[in-house]
Structure 1
Amino acid sequence: MGRAAAHQFLGRHPGRWEIAYQEDNRAAAAFWRQAARDLVGIRWSGERRPVPDKPDAPPESWLSLTVPEK
């Protein structure tokens, strides 16, 4: 149900997206990676970035993808 909602939302708003999540949240990491694969195949990337103004926080994982117009 969650992936279907993500697909519907992102499908209605094509363009470049960046989605942040905590890598320690394994369910979120698996969810967003699979959602990206379902939407755009292998045309997505991921990177870790520091949390702004929170030097002691673990870095966030960022997923970047471009949802094409239909």
Structure 2
Amino acid sequence: MTIALTAVDEPDKPVLANLVQFYQYDFSEIRDLELTRHGTFTYRYLDPYFTEDAREAYFITVDGELAGFAMARHDADEDGSWNVAEFFVVRRHRRRGVARDAARQLFSKHPGPWTLSFDHGNPAAAALWRSVAGSVATGTVTESDRYPPDTDVAITRLRFHVAGGA
């Protein structure tokens, strides 16, 4: 099984937008996401991934077949870390190591500090991200919890440092 990350270019923006709908559909089980009157979910951050240098979007493929996406942003104003903004693997490819491999590839693109957050209501994400961060981190992985009203939902934020060749 060959897992790859491929940069999403402007002509592929509609494909990414479609995948974001599946991602938000899955998230609607744990977050209060509502459909628009058109039967879609609203995601207001898509355009910046095609207009801002500090944001990157990738398709995740398995043996050349589309299997999800990863979106990251560089928080230069905050602490200089890269942040996993959104990450999604379609159900068919879950629990096969696809997310783990794709995440490791994402982290290796930008050695240095990284952050990511996961909802307390998403135990599968908690297990995945703690495991992957622990496997790529040089040094400790720090965790901090945030709760409403500081955030929309209760989350855990991981901070860690990735050496080259994660």
Asked whether the two chains share a fold, i.e. TM above 0.5, the reply is yes
Task: Give the helix-richer structure, 1 or 2.
Answer: 1
Partner of 1:59: 154
Unaligned stretches of 5+ residues in structure 1: none
Contact 2:112–2:161 at 8 Å: present in 1 too? yes
Query: Number of residues paired by the alignment?
Result: 67
Q: Deviation of residue 42 (structure 1)? A: 5.8
Closer, same or farther in 2 for the Cα pair 1:26/1:42, shift >3 Å? Answer: farther
Equivalent position of 1:2 in the other structure? 99
Calculate the aligned-residue CA RMSD, in Å: 2.0
Whole-angstrom distance in 1 between the partners of 2:163 and 2:142: 15
Question: What's the TM-score once normalised by structure 1's chain length?
Answer: 0.80
Identical aligned residues as a percent: 30
Corresponding position: 1:26 with 2:123: yes
* Cα displacement (A) at 1:60: 1.3
Q: Decide whether the 8 Å contact of 2:142 with 2:160 is kept in 1.
A: yes
**CA 1:3–1:21: 2 relative to 1, 3 Å:** same
**Max radius of gyration: which structure?**
2
State the alpha-carbon separation in 2 of the partners of residues 22 and 10 from structure 1: 20
